[in-house]
Amino acid sequence: MNMQTAPVTAPPAPKGLAQMQLPIVMMRDILLKTIFRKNVNNVSEVAEAICLPMPVTQELIDMSREQKLLEATGTLSANSGNEMGYQLTDAGKSRAQDALSQSEYFGAMPVPLDVYREQIKRQSIRNIMVTRNQLVDAMGHLVLPDSLLDHLGPAVSAGRSILMYGPPGNGKSSISNGIRDALGDHVYVPRAIEYAGQVITVYDPIVHSMIEETPDDPHAIRRPKRFDSRYVKCERPTVITGGELSLDMLDLVYNPTARTYQAPLQLKSTGGIFIVDDLGRQAEPPQSLVNRWIVPLEENKDILALQSGEKFEVPFDTLVIFSTNFHPNEIFDQAALRRIFFKIKIDGPSQENFLKIFAMVARKRGMPLDETALVHLLKVKYPTIDNIYANYQPIFLIDQMIAICEFEGIPYQMSPDLIDRAWANMFVKDEHIVK
């Protein structure tokens, strides 16, 4: 494994049409559609709209002029650095409308899938190295046993699939989010990719967190080298799904009106983390969901299908984390379990760690600790549930006592009586309700 110790290499900007590796007609039509839809008319505006360097954009404009689809307006715009203006000819408008009837996509020029493959290699999740200190820093708000980090650290650094299982309420989701925070670096996400002449949008502001770039200093002697603006510089993505996950969410989404595709969740999470939370709560059986991941998990590639039925491979470069409250043997067969590389049990805290969590939460909430109340909690209440502690319980109990104090109009405080009232809301009594 090539451990990543330096920043991710940025995708280089294309220097000419020959480097684009896209069909010429597709590029020309996207240019015409963008000018038609966005009403941009000089080279810098067009270049920004289609996310290409100005020299490459000028090549496209010159080619379109030769084909009588664009014409110079003959005027210079003072607001645009005295650039020549361009407009669509009647033939250009007709071609733009015809192209829009075939695909509504316009704007950023897509990145060919094969070109994107190379960028994925440069920023692979499997190239990163997460240290114990990074994990500790990212999960500093959690009280975890050292033995858990012993198992978790190698799993994250390997970039392989992880199954976390154990009783509910013990921080599996928080640990997953901590893993995400520990990664700490960035990747480049294409706005759209192209395969077989079809456009697949990838960048999604809901999934991807853009990193704001510092504007260039126009007076600087040396300006930083710009990356290919068809990509967006982002934090490593994290996709979190729960009970709503279904198999069709892992397929390309076709928009019949725009005649374009949207990337499925696992492709959007490339270079980052895909968290399947609450596995076993989905409408699909857990075995079916994992069966869908067998090829990606084993071969680092996924198979997608176009509307035509044509299937094609895309890279699968994602750390998949499954989280479940069920015992793995209850929901998977051994073949499925074999394909999940790391299996980590997340147990409830010891009494010592429970008290640490309780004290930490009380301090954050401004709730003073009371020894009598704590003794009552540990010696009277917890024996009724066989002294089984869970990480969520301190937050629940303290927030309940805060709500009671605010209702009663008294200062925040802890007492055996308040412990009893809070405890009564933590569990539902098993009883028969007469209808």
pLDDT average, residue stretch 71-95: 80
User: Residue 134 and residue 287: Cα distance in Å, rounded?
Assistant: 33
> Using 50, 70 and 90 to split pLDDT, how confident is the model at 80?
low
What does the DSSP assignment read for 74-129?
Answer: EEEEGGGTTEEEEEE-HHHHHHHHHHHHH----SSPPEEHHHHHHHHHHT-GGGB-
The residue-averaged pLDDT of 411-421 equals 96
Closest CA to 110 of 34, 55, 50: 50
pLDDT value at residue 217: 46
Which sign, positive or negative, has the C-alpha torsion 154, 159, 163, 168? positive
> What value does the mean pLDDT take over residues 367-381?
96
CA–CA dist 366, 262 (Å, integer): 47
CA separation for the pair 427, 165 (Å, rounded): 22
Is residue 14 predicted with pLDDT exceeding 60? yes
Question: Mean pLDDT over residues 368-375, rounded?
Answer: 96
| Residue 317, pLDDT score | 94
Rg, Å, the chain Cα set: 28
pLDDT surpassing 60 at residue 79: no
pLDDT band at 65 (very low <50, low <70, confident <90, very high): very high
Q: Is the pLDDT of residue 4 over 80?
A: no
Stretch 180-205: mean pLDDT: 92
Cβ-based neighbour number of residue 80 at 10 Å:
14
* Tens digits of residue pLDDT in 271-319: 999 988 888 888 888 888 888 888 888 889 999 999 999 999 999 999 9
Looking at the chain, the whole-number percentage of residues with pLDDT higher than 70 is 93
Q: How many CB atoms lie within 10 A of CB 258?
A: 15
Q: What is the mean pLDDT of the chain?
A: 88
Closest CA to 97 of 29, 39, 22, 197: 29
pLDDT score of 213 more than 80? no
Which pLDDT value is given to residue 225? Answer: 55
Tell me what pLDDT residue 77 has: 54
Please say if the pLDDT value at position 210 is more than 70. yes
pLDDT (0 to 100) of residue 397 = 96
Predicted pLDDT of residue 228: 95
Distance, in Å, from the CA atom of 65 to the CA atom of 106, rounded to the nearest integer, reads: 19
pLDDT of residue 105: 95
Tokens 């039509």 -> residue: 29
What pLDDT does residue 311 have? 95
How large is the angle between the packed helices 43-50 and 54-66, nearest 10 degrees? Answer: 110
Q: How far is CA 340 from the centre of its chain?
A: 20
pLDDT at 154 (0 to 100): 86
Which is more confidently placed, 222 or 187?
A: 187
User: How confident is the model over 160-171, as pLDDT tens digits?
Assistant: 888 988 887 777
- pLDDT tops 50 at residue 221: no
pLDDT value of residue 222: 46
State the pLDDT confidence band at 122, using cuts at 50, 70 and 90: very high
What is the rounded average pLDDT of the residues 231-255? Answer: 92
pLDDT bracket for residue 81 (50, 70, 90): low
Task: Report the pLDDT value the prediction gives residue 223, as an integer from 0 to 100.
Answer: 44
